[in-house]
Chains A and B, each alone.
Chain A
Amino acid sequence: MSAELVLSGAIFIGLAIIIPIVMIMTVMLGPRSDSAAKNDPYESGIKHVVGHADQKFSVKFYLLAILFLIFDIEAVFMYPWAVSLRELGVFGLIEMTVFILLLLTGLIYILKKGVLNWR
């Protein structure tokens, strides 16, 4: 077990060192020049920038993110069930059917509420 941990750790550390080196090398190799126009946010060559990064966007994206959390946890919950389905037998199948139908009811409720009506 500890050997496994050391191995995984070594893989992580190896990659965590190698990829940033590429970024550092490009900073070192590349030229360095500066000007006011270069430092502006990109706007297809227009000098006076219209709008900025702090503008509003639809609140529905937040709702979708929260929805994702529920479904993601549910999917991860299903993995151990799927591996041991043969041992769990019919009991496990019925339990999961009830669980999934409850989730689907939730999804249908959310869709009826109009989370995905983009107008």
Chain B
Amino acid sequence: MSLTLLNVVLAVFIAICFVGANAAYLVWCERKGAGFYQRRPGPMENGWWGLLQPPIDGVKLMTKQLLIPGGVDKAIFMVAPVLAMFPALISFVTIPFSDNIVAHPIDVGVLVIFAFAALGGMSLLVAGWGSRNKYSMISSVRAVSQTVAYEIPLLITTITIVMISGSLNLGDIVQQQLDGFLSWNVWPLHKEVGFNLLMPVSFLILFVCSVAETNRAPFDLGEAESELVAGFHTEYSSMGFGLFFMGEYANIVIGSCLITILFLGGWSCPFGDLGIFPFTHNVGWFLLKIYLIIFVFIWIRWTFPRTTIYGLLNLSWKYLIPISLFNLLLTAGLLKVF
């Protein structure tokens, strides 16, 4: 019992360190990426290539005043940033980084992650409602309708993977993709289902949905700077804002972990297990894959212009949901036909 409790404390500690480091340095990567795509150097002043920028920003955020404007609902206002960070951290507990690096393998890991992702949507609602600011209000209405709309195709598309692997356990889903990169779920060649042309479609839907779920450009209607100042975190200063920011990046990491585990073989080596160190199934491959996906997220953000809220909701309700439902039925049919 004491050993398992120690494991839990360790898991919480490592999860917080991992999320904190990632959130801090992904901001740096984002700014460097923005600089790269806009032909400017990005942060350069603090440390070599601006590498000291994130800790300095962190100290600055901690020591600024957390301004609570007059009209706000104080309790709700203070709870919202915590709610933004909390579910993202909890989700890390179930994510397997390798076959033995997982804090707490849960049999319904997929559902746990989706449940807490939905809780993250609530922080947007609570933040916008508690701020008593018209921009925050409009933003929270938008952001909630967006997360809600994209959660459905996300859930339904994940069902196709669950159906093929017959398990809700993230570790088991990866275990079935360990024979080199052709056994990954993203390819239309599945060892059991046979030739299944629908898998890339599922992958694409899942990718679009996870970009939209994390409120990233081109779907960042919740914090459209040109219309809504800063959206739901307009009224937040200091670490209140910092927690929202960290929550956003933690959600990006969760999203890319999920994409990697469901479609890109998790911690598996793309060449199969060759038995020599870098070419065995290990955590390095997992990290490589998630950072590649995060790079694509950043690339998309600085390449595409923002959509409109109507276009965004129409894309989900009129296209992605019917397509994902048909995709599910056809995949189930293929599974049966075989």
Residues of B near A103 (CB, < 8 A) are: 325
Q: How many residues of chain B are within 8 Å of chain A by beta carbon?
A: 76
Q: Provided the pairs A11-B104, A23-B81, A65-B148 are in contact, do residues A104 and B156 lie with their beta carbons within 8 angstroms?
A: no
The CA of A32 and the CA of B69, in the complex, are separated in Å by 12
Whether B187 is near chain A, meaning CB under 8 Å from some CB there, is no
In the complex, chain A residues 1-23 whose Cβ is within 8 Å of any chain B Cβ: 3, 6-8, 10-12, 14-16, 18-20, 22-23
B104-136 CB contact bits vs A (8 Å, 1 = yes)? 100000110000000000000000000111111
The CA of A42 and the CA of B335, in the complex, are separated in Å by 55
A105 to chain B, nearest CB (A): 11
The answer to whether A29 touches B62 (Cβ under 8 A) is yes
Whether B8 is near chain A, meaning CB under 8 Å from some CB there, is yes
The CA of A75 and the CA of B110, in the complex, are separated in Å by 13
The answer to whether A19 touches B321 (Cβ under 8 A) is no
The answer to whether A26 touches B239 (Cβ under 8 A) is yes
Residues of A near B160 (CB, < 8 A) are: 82
Q: Provided the pairs A3-B4, A18-B16 are in contact, do residues A118 and B310 lie with their beta carbons within 8 angstroms?
A: yes
- Determine which of B9, B78, B313, B322 lies in contact with A23 in the assembled complex, contact meaning CB atoms within 8 Å: B78
Whether B82 is near chain A, meaning CB under 8 Å from some CB there, is yes
The CA of A29 and the CA of B135, in the complex, are separated in Å by 29
- Determine which of A18, A31, A65 lies in contact with B12 in the assembled complex, contact meaning CB atoms within 8 Å: A18
The answer to whether B155 touches A76 (Cβ under 8 A) is yes
In the complex, chain B residues 129-157 whose Cβ is within 8 Å of any chain A Cβ: 131-138, 141, 144-145, 148-149, 151-152, 155-156
The CA of A78 and the CA of B279, in the complex, are separated in Å by 38
A48 to chain B, nearest CB (A): 14
The CA of A99 and the CA of B70, in the complex, are separated in Å by 51
Residues of B near A10 (CB, < 8 A) are: 5, 8-9
The answer to whether B69 touches A79 (Cβ under 8 A) is no
The answer to whether B166 touches A83 (Cβ under 8 A) is yes
The answer to whether B141 touches A30 (Cβ under 8 A) is no
B38 to chain A, nearest CB (A): 25
A49 to chain B, nearest CB (A): 8
Whether A52 is near chain B, meaning CB under 8 Å from some CB there, is yes
Whether B229 is near chain A, meaning CB under 8 Å from some CB there, is yes
For the A-B complex with A53-B131, A68-B149, A68-B152 known, give 5 more contacts whose Cβ atoms are closer than 8 Å: A23-B82, A26-B238, A39-B69, A79-B110, A82-B162
Residues on B lying within 8 angstroms of A by beta carbon are: 1, 4-5, 8-9, 11-12, 16, 61-67, 69-71, 78, 81-82, 85-86, 89-90, 93, 103-104, 110-111, 131-138, 141, 144-145, 148-149, 151-152, 155-156, 159-160, 162-163, 166-168, 229, 234-235, 238-240, 242-243, 310, 313-314, 317-318, 321-322, 325, 328-329, 332-333, 335-336
